Each structure stands twice: as C-alpha cells, then as structure tokens.
Amino acid sequence: MNREFRIGTRESELALWQANLVKDMLAEIGFASTLVLIKSEGDVDLKTPLYEMGVQGIFTRSLDVALLNNKIDIAVHSMKDVPTVLPPGIVKGAVIKRGNYNDIFIVNDKKYNGKHPPEGAFSPLRLSGKYDLLAADLHSVATIATGSIRRKAQWLHRFPDHQIVNIRGNVNSRLRKVEESDWDGAIMAAAGVERINLRPKSAVELDWMLPAPAQGAILAACKAGDEDCREALKGINHKATAIAAETEREFLRALMGGCATPISALAIVDNKDVYFKGNILSTDGRKKIEIEKQVSVDKVESLGLRMAADILKDGGREILDQFRNE
C-alpha cells in the first residue's frame, strides 16, 4: 500500500514525542506517515482549572474534529485525556505499550537552596509509601501545585493541612512555573516528564497515589470506516496495555466520571492474572472508598463494571452525589 497516513498531534513537546513514537512504530512495520499539528482548547486556555472547563475531551476535541473532517487519518492522544466514550465515527486503532503510570512529586529545589531532601521535610522515604505517613511528616504550611482534582483529593487525604494551588500548561511550562514560584512543589505524571527527559533528580515517586485511568498509555484513534488505517494500527497495538487501560476506563465510565472527577484506577496484567485497584475520594480528601481485586485474564471482561458496582455499594455513591451537587 502506497498511502501515507497523516498523524494529527498537539504542538507540545510531549505530544510530538508521542506522535513521533507512533510514526516510528508504523515505519517499522512498513507504513509511511507524516505529522499534522493541531492546536487544542486545552493548550489555549492555561489559566482555568481543568475541572472548571468541562474538561472531558478538552485535549482531544480538536483532533477529533480534524479526523472527522478528513484533515488527518490518525489522532494520537495521551489515553487518560480521552473521553471514555469515543465520538461517533471514531474508533480505537491501537494502544501503545504503557510507560510509567505513577504520579511524581516535583520538589521546588530552588526553595530549598538545592539541599533536597531536607531532613524531616521532603525526604523520599517520607513521601513514598514505604512508611506510614502522617500530615506531620511535612510542615503544615506546605503549598502544593496541581491542576488535577484527583491528585488534589489524594494529596489532601494524606496531608489535610496543606494548601493546594492550581497549575496548568504543558510539561515544560509547569516545570518552569514550579522553579519560579514559592511553592514547595508540584504533582505531575511521571510518564510526561520521563518521555522528554525532563524528570528532575530530586523528583519523588508517589507510589501511594493511584493514577488516572489509562495514565501512561497512548491511544492512536482513526475513523471507523478507514479499514487501511485500522489494519495498519493493529500491528502496533500492545494487548496487555489495551486490556489494562480499557478495564480502568470501564471503571471510570461506569461511575460516569471524567478527568474532572476524583476517581482513580490501576489494572496490571501479569502473565495470566489481572490485578485491579480503584478508588473514589471527596474533593476535600476527607472521604475515600477503595476497592481491590485479582482475577484471571480470561475473566477480565466487565471487571471494571463489577468493581464500579461494588465501590458504589460501599459508599462511593454518596461521594459521587456530593461531588455532583458541588
């Protein structure tokens, strides 16, 4: 086939890295492609918190329109940004092998004069899940930046006395904002900073913070009727990641959540088993309901739905109702 596929991408360094990864993977199996840059609403408005923007699809909408209008053949997204129900006419073509799914804490080294980690404050052991952590482990006046209501809720559950401030922008601009601020640090996705080689040495892995559904995974979408494109993308699909990400997104969809709700999920496919963990928190972090399950891969179908039903019965419905009222 002589067709050259047009890959749509946002203009940020991370988005371009992801699009080029898909481009290179297609080239390895014999398909030519070129990049087409598309600006998104999420890139234009960098001040309004995501949860106030009607965030579902905020970073994917422009690419979806370009795809449906035949301006591009493939849209590449961070999968956690993709609505759990794709627009009519658009289908999942491939899920790329997952990167680091954890969140990390970016310490404001400038505030601590490069002496990170200061004893008794932001030491890696105190920020990681290796020890039982109380709010006193970090000074009560700490100011933490994040634009994610999910990260905010989980952080406040662990550190209820901290102040949370909003931060928006691409990876590069958020790192710069931390350095120029008087904040103690910011919470970001590990995959984002690692993929473009910007992870600071002082960054701390938040192994106790459950990630957003499909965090660390990349989705390549195409039009439903484009059989050539679907066949090409099938060759770069990573099955284990696809199973894990779709289970997490199924959990999110069943709870009628999006990027703007404090819902987290992680599924890990290990040989013949799938390990699932999910939670939902109140926005202030005071209430938290968790669920955990291990099943064999052959029983993974509808696992996300079953886990969502269980967490609603265990008190999750009250938290969701409270969130909607807010």
Q: Active-site residues: which are they?
A: 81
- Beta strands, E only, the chain: 5-9, 33-37, 74-78, 90-96, 103-107, 143-145, 163-165, 185-189, 204-206, 218-223, 263-270, 273-281, 288-296
> Long-range contacts made by residues 129-138, C-beta under 8 angstroms, separation at least 24?
129/206, 129/207, 129/208, 130/207, 133/158, 133/208, 135/159, 135/160, 135/161, 135/162, 138/162, 138/184
Q: What backbone torsions phi and psi does residue 166 show, to the nearest 5 degrees?
A: -80, 140
Question: Which of helix, strand or coil describes residue 82?
Answer: coil
Hey, how many other C-beta atoms are within 10 angstroms of the C-beta on 229? 23
Distance of CA 186 to the CA centre of its chain: 15
- 54-89 burial, b at 16+ Cβ within 10 Å, e below that, comes to ebbbbbbbbbbebbeeeebbbbbbbbbbbbbebeee
For the record, the structure tokens of 4 come out as 């050259």
Amino acid found at 218? I
- Element holding 68 (H helix, E strand): helix 61-68
Written as six digits, the tokens of 130 are: 């290796």
Strand pairing category for 185-189 and 143-145? parallel
What tokens were used for 153?
Answer: 């809720």
